[in-house]
Structure 1
Amino acid sequence: MAKLKISGVSKAYGATVALSRGDLELEAGEVHVLIGSNGSGKSTLCKIVAGSVRPDKGEVLLDGKPVTMSGPRASKALGIGIFYQELSLAARRTVEENICLPDLPMKGPFIDRKALSERARRYIELFDGVTGEGFAPDLTVDVLRADQRQLVEIMKTLASEAQILIFDEPTSALDRAQVDRFFEILRRLKSEGRAIVFISHRMDEIFALGDRVTVLRDGATVGTSRIADTNAQEVVRMMVGEEPTLAEHADAAPQATGPVALKLSSLSGIGFSDVSFEVRQGEILGLGGLHGQGQSSVLRALFGAGSVATGDVTLDGGAYHPHDPRAAIRAGLAYVSGDRGRDGVIQGRPILENLTPIHFLRNRLALASPSVLKAKATPAVEALKTKFASFSHPIGSLSGGNQQKIVIARWLIDRPKVLLLDDPTKGIDLAAKSDLFALVRRLAAEGMAIVLYSSEDAELLANSDRILVFNGGRITRELTGAERTRFNLYEAAYEAA
């Protein structure tokens, strides 16, 4: 009898189907790997088991008995612990306190510090020798490095002493020694009879640790195999389904022959290493791979909003030093983020004010006539088929898709030399996506150089002339011409970095 059995579980958020048919059988004493592309439903399935998301339908059996995961506390009471991909640490609490959350040992109204230290020490000692410099039990986690914070989250999950442990991409920020130690711990827990669900985007980890693998595609479980009976290429085939032909994606574009607009030489910084490429005028260069592999970090660094440690950049043949967004704007770079709330929309202000800040900065304006600004902005908003009643209306009165069109249009009032698109269609509807990419292709045809990162593989394949696949912060493969298929993209994204 399976320790945990999930059958036909589904979850939708309005018109967006996150999971259409999730099936999973988990045995005691096994590491069961979940794998699938971005948006395939892996995290949603795990969150349903952990009680943080309620399914719309389907059945969950624990030791053969139907259970309802009414919330995280109920799931925890049933012996289920989860490591979330988005860390859930309390930044201003100590390492010890975070490990023991949410069951801090108390002595009256106060934390029992002695009991806290004794309990936390058991899990800290598991990683003795690999936590690195600057790690201490009494430090608050906000001063730790990313890998150290991830280790604390793992310790916290292990401290739940749950019989079913779910790890959603727990190794993404860890180095090789930390991963090896973590895998030793998981193998020991497996030998004790614990049941472990493990999500990873690293194919080498899957075959090093797993007993079985279940593949999700487009929100549904498509198959389960024993690790000993399959191989990496077969797993990729299951993730992709029928291998698509080039005709389903972008036409085979002729190699761009215009002047080099932007060139990177051995660029390294936080989140990426030794990145070299060039993009020519009239070319759409795609950045592919799984989310968080350095694509966004490179784009933000080029715009002066991220860190560059070493390497060189040339823009239109001249040296360019990406250290400040204002300088990037005046040099002719434009950056569009899919995170409108953080990087785009000026909330509470009129549409016209949201359209024109780049125009003011690039032209060093202090004042300008509203009528002149409207005249300059109108061609840009019309090119994107942006719908709004008046330039004076607040930006919040628009749909998400139209808000993103305003963010993009602001960069086109004064045409940039290079357009950096950082997952620009995240959270917008299909019609808005269609309008955006129609404009992108037109801008490229007019000679603009464009670098596009998208977490949606179909978008990348349909709109890029070349694709550079990122894995572990590095470019691991270039796909051109007929090589631009989902199979090749997945294979490069999931192979060992």
Structure 2
Amino acid sequence: MSELLIRGARKAYGATLALRRGDLHLLPGEVHVLIGSNGSGKSTLCKIVAGSVKPDAGEVLLDGKPVTIAGPQAARELGIGIFYQELSLAARRTVAENICMPALPVKGGVFVDRAALEAKAARIIEAFADVAGEGFSADAPVNTLRADQRQLVEIMKALATEASILIFDEPTSALDRAQVDRFFEILRQLKAEGRAIVFISHRMDEIFAIGDRVTVIRDGETVGTSKISETDQASVIRQMVGERDDLATPAVAPPAHQAQRSAVLSVSGLSGPGFRNVSFEVAKGEILGFGGLHGQGQSAVMRSIFGADAHHTGTIALNGKQIAMKSPREAIAHGCAYVSGDRSRDGILQGRPIFENVTPIHFLRNQLALARPASLRERAMRPLQALKTKFQGLEQPINSLSGGNQQKVVIARWLIDRPDVLLLDDPTKGIDLAAKTDLFALIRKLAENGMGIVLYSSEDAELLNNADRILVFNSGSVTRELTGADRTRYNLYHAAYEAA
């Protein structure tokens, strides 16, 4: 069995430093937990070990000998297997084919050995047979499976490598309790065989149930390693927080007399894919934050309010009037705006001029077939200038702008006609610090003028410094509301990581 040592791993993507100094010592026969907040660098460190990311600096030693992991195939040859947080399945292939994909059995050096493939897949599937659920079988196409079943296939795919070092990056995020328990039984068996396992999870109860040691990464640096038996949840969270356990700055104290202000948005008992029983109100002039780890239902709730995704139960009201919100068109008509951090998918019109990117919502909301270009250009310039957008002219292709300026154009399109509610779904994703500063200055000004704003951010500092209240999401539900003196980084982490 193998011992892995990583020292001083570093990785930057342009000006963004994803990993400053990553250290990890993994021993045979242990489950080693890796924990850190969103963007701390833990997934980057694992991808370096798996060969899918090349480090800029640092060294990797396997059984005391320096190794270079040139790619995923080289990692597999060294006995390293990985479960990726972002599923890497072939949707139209069968469960059995996906499980064996990393090393398809062949005969004659050319043809896939179907009998060997099916036998290998059947052996691995059998371990999960009674918890996999209806419709799960070796010959089922992956695109017919539920989210939890696809995640099981990804786990089985990693197990099929029979690697001596296995990395699981948040493998339980979509699994139910019975599936998690079975997976942990298998991990304990692997540990008894002498395998070395890296386990990343955002569920504190899981970490203490399965881990032997825990390494904390904060802001791109490894800050410490402890035996699970010699620490507790509070100590681990303190290491994650570090010294930055401060309140939001006094400049963003809740607006005066906010309790007397009328609710511009009311949500009651909202449930749908990825979230359940979510209720809250947003007052005019308030910035309500959505906190918690990435993928805990925050974006799904926002998209449901905006009519982009469906919800099963619950009600949504704007300015006291209940709205069905069956489509984004309906949401826009009632004064609701939505800005996604994924501007390539939900934002910009690729290859088109800035003018065409900034005006479509104005046409839609006002049901315009024709418009006077001169007056519309003047109206389009106002929000662009308010956001300090850098561009040469409205006919300039949006693709020629920086990422931050592209996002400013996306936000500006919603401000030509002032909405009542602005939903910001991780809006600063991938933009620079200067652009973030401009954006949050405008958000505060919009709130001061009476707009209701819901802000989800994967960066805790953005929430603590800009939100008047923070609802912390965990496993699709709101588990805690942070107000006043409770708005600390420690409380935010504690609510995000505790068992829901």
TM-score (norm 1): 0.98
Q: Which residue of 1 aligns with 2:420?
A: 417
Deviation at 1:128, TM superposition (A): 1.1
1:364 pairs, out of 363, 367, 372, with 367
Going from structure 1 to structure 2, the CA distance change for 1:248 and 1:237 (only over 3 Å counts) comes to farther
CA displacement 1:82-114 (0-9 Å, x = unmatched): 001001111111100000003222345443222
Q: Structure 1 regions of 5+ residues with no counterpart?
A: none
1:216 matched residue in structure 2: 217
CA distance in 2, matches of 1:163, 1:103: 15
Aligned pairs (5 A) from 1:356-435: 356-435=359-438
Kept in 1, the 8 Å contact 2:10–2:56? The answer is yes
**C-alpha offsets along residues 381-405 of structure 1, whole Å, 9 cap, x if unaligned?**
1110111111111111111111100
2:464 to 457, 461, 464: 461
2:448 to 445, 451, 465: 445
Give the aligned residue type for 1:367. L
Instruction: Decide which moves more: 183-192 or 243-252.
Output: 243-252
Is 1:101 the counterpart of 2:101 in the alignment? yes
Which segment is superposed worse, 343-352 or 243-252?
Answer: 243-252
Contact in 2 for aligned 1:2/1:27 (Cα 8 Å): yes
Partner amino acid, structure 2, of 1:375: E
Deviation at 1:282, TM superposition (A): 0.4
Work out whether 1:318 is the aligned partner of 2:321.
Answer: yes
Corresponding residue of 1:75: 75
Q: Contact 1:417–1:448 at 8 Å: present in 2 too?
A: yes
CA contact 2:248–2:488 (8 Å) conserved in 1: no
Distance 1:122 1:136 in 2: 12
Matched letter for residue 191 of structure 1: A
- Kept in 2: contact 1:250–1:465 (CA 8 A): no
- The residue aligned with 1:128 is 129
Paired position in structure 1 for 2:89: 89
What TM-score comes out, normalization by structure 2 length? 0.98
Equivalent-residue separation in structure 2 for 1:302 and 1:243 (angstroms): 33
| Aligned equivalents of 2:122, 2:412: Cα separation in 1 | 54
CA, structure 1 residues 43+386, in 2 after alignment: closer, same or farther (shift >3 Å)?
A: same
* In 2: Cα distance, 1:50 partner to 1:348 partner: 36
Matches within 5 A, 1:257-296: 257-296=260-299
Is the aligned partner of 1:56 residue 2:59? no
Aligned 8 A contact 2:252 2:467 in 1: no
Shift of 1:243: 4.8
Question: Conserved in 2, the CA contact under 8 Å of 1:261 and 1:279?
Answer: yes
Cα deviations by residue, 1:19-45 (Å, 9 ceiling, x for unpaired): 111111111000000000001100000
Letter of the 1:235 counterpart: V
CA deviations over 1:147-184 (Å, ceiling 9, x no partner): 00000000000000000000000000000000000000
Secondary structure (helix, strand or coil) at the match of 2:127 reads helix
- Compute the RMSD of aligned alpha carbons: 1.2
2:103 partner SS? coil
Conserved? CA contact 1:237–1:243, under 8 Å: no
Could you tell me which amino acid in structure 2 is paired with residue 218 of structure 1?
A: D
Partner of 2:116: 115
Query: How far 1:255 sits from its partner (Å)?
Result: 5.6
The letter of the residue matching 2:23 is D
Aligned to 1:20: 20
Residues in 2 aligned to 1:138 and 1:309: alpha-carbon distance in whole angstroms: 31
Q: CA deviation at 1:249?
A: 7.1
Structure-1 residue corresponding to 2:232: 231
Aligned residues: 497
2:217 and 2:240 in contact (8 A); partners too: yes
Match of 2:176 in 1: 175
Query: Distance between the aligned counterparts of 1:175 and 1:116, measured in 2?
Result: 28
Residue pair 2:380, 2:416 contacting (<8 A) in 1 also: yes
Q: Secondary structure at the match of 1:127?
A: coil
Contact 2:33-2:214 within 8 A present in 1 as well: yes
Deviation at 1:368, TM superposition (A): 1.4
- Check conservation: 1:31, 1:198, Cα contact below 8 A: yes
Counterpart of 2:338 in structure 1 is: 335
SS in 2 for 1:19: strand
Q: Shift in Å at residue 247 of structure 1?
A: 5.7
Q: Distance in 2 between matches of 1:327 and 1:134?
A: 36
Q: Which amino acid aligns with 1:457?
A: D
